[in-house]
């Protein structure tokens, strides 16, 4: 394996306008990332002028990749909207005109209530304030019901465990 060509590929790709990481290059040439990094470390220690130039070029590309990674890192975990803007606007208009709830829209369209809420809230349409308020109330009620149901479940569970304990004695 000629690792020099791999490092040259990374540098040339950058000059062509593509950012290629060591990982991308390793997939392309089917070798390990650590092998490429070991070769790059050898370039750093080399006395040959060509190696030093190649290492400095790689270092420049690597730093740009790191900067882009940090920029992209802020976008990780943020979902893109799954609904088009025109569909969200149409749904907003329909909700306002018909007065239906998000739960009713969920049943009618098959779009999950949370997705509807998330996309509609991005519109910042003041006409939907009642819908948002109702959604928040329902969510809070659902949460409170879950807590009450879990309390009942645990009380029933403790009664069962007492009966089992009596049975074992």
- pLDDT tens digits for 26-65? 888 888 889 888 888 888 888 888 888 988 888 888 888 7
Are 38 and 100 part of one and the same domain? no
Residue 80 counted as domain residue: no
Are 26 and 58 part of one and the same domain? yes
Are 96 and 118 part of one and the same domain? yes
What CA–CA distances, in Å, run from 4 to 7, 31, 40, 52, 123?
A: 5, 13, 9, 12, 52
Q: What is the pLDDT of residue 81?
A: 67
Q: Please, which pLDDT band fits residue 130 given cuts at 50, 70 and 90?
A: confident
Closest CA to 131 of 118, 144, 150, 146: 118
Residue 89 counted as domain residue: yes
Q: Please, which pLDDT band fits residue 167 given cuts at 50, 70 and 90?
A: very low
**pTM (2 decimals)?**
0.41
For 58, how many CA atoms within 13 A lie in the half-sphere containing its CB? 25
What tokens were used for 53? Answer: 């130039």
Average pLDDT of the segment spanning 127-134? 76
Are 16 and 66 part of one and the same domain? yes
Residue 79 counted as domain residue: no
pLDDT digits (tens, 9 = 90+) for 65-92: 777 765 544 555 556 667 788 888 888 8
Residue 163 counted as domain residue: yes
What tokens were used for 48? Answer: 């040959």
Position with higher pLDDT, 157 vs 105: 105
Among residues 73, 96, 129, the one where a domain terminates is 73
Angle between helices 85-98 and 113-121 (to 10 degrees): 100
Can you give the residue range of the structural domain that contains 9?
3-73
Q: Tell me how many domains the chain contains.
A: 2
Residue 91 counted as domain residue: yes
Are 13 and 65 part of one and the same domain? yes
Are 164 and 93 part of one and the same domain? yes
Q: What is the pLDDT of residue 166?
A: 45
């Amino acid at each position: 394996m000629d690792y020099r060509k791999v490092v040259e590929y990374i540098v040339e790709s950058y000059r062509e306008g593509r950012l290629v990481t060591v990982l991308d290059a390793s997939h392309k040439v089917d070798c390990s990332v650590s092998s490429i990094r070991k070769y790059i470390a050898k370039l750093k220690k080399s006395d040959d002028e060509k190696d030093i130039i190649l290492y400095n070029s790689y270092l420049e590309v690597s730093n740009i990749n790191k900067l882009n990674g940090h920029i992209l890192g802020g976008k990780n975990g943020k979902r893109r909207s799954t609904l088009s803007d025109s569909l969200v606007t149409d749904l907003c208009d329909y909700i306002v005109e018909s007065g239906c709830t998000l739960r009713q829209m969920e049943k009618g369209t098959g779009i999950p209530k949370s997705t509807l809420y998330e996309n509609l809230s991005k519109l910042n349409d003041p006409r939907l304030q009642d819908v948002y308020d109702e959604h928040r109330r329902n969510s809070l009620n659902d949460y409170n019901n879950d807590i009450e149901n879990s309390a009942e479940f645990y009380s029933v569970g403790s009664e069962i465990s007492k009966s089992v304990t009596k049975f074992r004695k």
